[in-house]
Amino acid sequence: MNIKEIIETINKKNKVCYIIYGKEYFLIEKYKEIILTNLKKKKINNIKTIEINKNTDWKNFFYYSQKKSFLYKKKIIILKINIKNIHHEIIQNFKKKKCISKINIIIIILKESNYTNIIKINSKKKFFNKQLLIPCFNFKKYEFFQWIQENISNKIIDIKLKNFLYNKYKNNFLLLNQNLNIISLIFKKKITLKKLKKVLIYDKIYTIFEWINFLLLGKTKKCLLILKSLNKSKIHPLIIVKHLENKLIILILLKKIKKNKQENFFKKMKIWKNSQELYIRSIKKNNYSNFLKIIKSINWIKLSLKKIEEESIWIVLKEISLMFN
């Protein structure tokens, strides 16, 4: 199934289960966003996120799924599976407990480290009959064109311009999407290559929020690349320090909170659904000792502010980028 067919299926056909898998994290998030937006239009707003980090978590999930509160109202269950295999008994359990799929919509998310085995198992014994598999990898050329077409009308952009965009952004999904957003906002009728070149971003314009996101993901190389970009953009490093300090407080508070209270905490702190997974990942991968080291570095910057040069702050921010797991 190609990209166009996937998006059409999401928008027009009712599926019990969506299995999103692959190596492109931000494409996984984009598809999840498309599914949730479509379900919201159908007045399905109640979302329950459940993580499967070990095989015993399945027992808790199936126990929870029998409760009246689980079956009372139609909801979206986002199942984040972080184990490498799923036993056949688990799939059989899904089939036996038909009330799970009868009442709810299931979104299963598989990441880079575990999708291969689980997709193989699913191909032999499906989780559900009415399911949609959504692969998230680097685009092939025809897929790249389809993605553009789904975001921008053919009346605005022709094949020549699509080829130009492909040569520039075929390996950079984030930058491609940023440019597609710009094109759709600025142009309402067919454009020339000359006009297109004037508005395109060739080097990713990173934001502090993206640096924070990659910190939470533990992507050291990407963090260092973004810091370099922010430095070139003449952003004062103290602004970055202030943002980091706020996020660090949230992480420490979140680490103290029990799992069943996390959802209320995120609502209180006004953290979007898309970002919640990043925070949860970070508190699992980083201990208090690690957070304490980062706090000490931040405090050193604040106490030494009048004595040190701006460049020294950038060096400490690079060190902080290496501290996050």
What 3-state class would DSSP assign to 212?
helix
Mean pLDDT of 65-72: 71
Residue identified by tokens 């399911």 is 131
Mean pLDDT of 255-264: 88
Q: Tell me what the pLDDT averaged over the chain comes to.
A: 84
pLDDT at 69: 67
pLDDT at 203: 63
Q: Burial letters for 148-186: b for 16+ Cβ neighbours within 10 Å, e otherwise? A: beeebeeebbeeebbeebeebbeeebbbbbebbeebeee
Mean pLDDT of 150-169: 87
DSSP 202: S
Percent of the chain exceeding pLDDT 70 equals 94
The CA distances from residue 276 to 125, 192, 246, 270, 288, in Å, are: 31, 41, 15, 10, 19
Cβ burial of 17 (10 Å; 0-12, 13-18, 19+) is buried
Helix (H) or strand (E) run with residue 323 in it: helix 310-323
pLDDT tens digit sequence for 74-93: 888 888 888 877 877 887 88
pLDDT of 205 above 80: no
Strand partners, 109: 20, 80
Mean pLDDT of 123-150: 86
Strand partners, 81: 52, 110
The alpha carbon torsion through 55, 56, 60, 61 (nearest 10 deg) reads: 0
Choice among 67-81, 181-195, 276-290 with the minimum mean pLDDT:
67-81
| Pairwise CA distance, residues 49 & 194, whole Å | 46
pLDDT tens digit sequence for 15-42: 888 999 988 877 888 899 899 888 888 8
pLDDT of 251 above 90: yes
| Pairwise CA distance, residues 110 & 31, whole Å | 13
